[in-house]
Amino acid sequence: MTCRECEKKIPDFIGRRMDYLGMKRFLEHVDACGSCREELVIQFLIQEGMARLEDGDVFDLQRELQEHLEEARRRIRVHEGILRVGTMFEVLTMAGILGIVVWILL
């Protein structure tokens, strides 16, 4: 992902409008790229900060961004866990079918 693509995705990330793959690529870029991480912090502060000012809430946005990032990472881990289990089942099913075929043929 390029910096330009990454910047365009920042509002989607903040608004949680991202699919698993987009989120994964986005986080990989943000982890590796200091200027995009900075851009994310700024946009998060602006977007969430404005919303909070309207609500009149007390807020700790730096921490909230950390939590937002953590949540995204957690979701990626869960998703990858499901993918792994899915692959395992596929392999087991294939092995089962193969076993039956061999059993019939012998």
Cβ proximity to Zn ion: between 33 and 76 the closer is 33
Q: How far is the CB of 41 from Zn ion (least distance, A)?
A: 13
What is the footprint of Zn ion within residues 32-51 (CB under 5 A)? 33, 36
E strands, 8-85, in order: none
d(CA 90, CA 76): 21
Q: Does 82 bind Zn ion (CB under 5 A)?
A: no
Which letter, b or e, does each residue of 18-27 get, where b requires 16 or more Cβ atoms within 10 Å of its Cβ?
beeeebbebb
Cα separation values, 17 from 20, 53, 72, Å: 10, 23, 11
Give me the least distance between CB of 33 and Zn ion, in Å please.
Answer: 3
Q: Which of residues 1-20 bind Zn ion (CB under 5 A)?
A: 3, 6
- The reply to whether 23 sits near Zn ion by the rule CB under 5 A is no
Return residues touching Zn ion (CB under 5 A): 3, 6, 33, 36
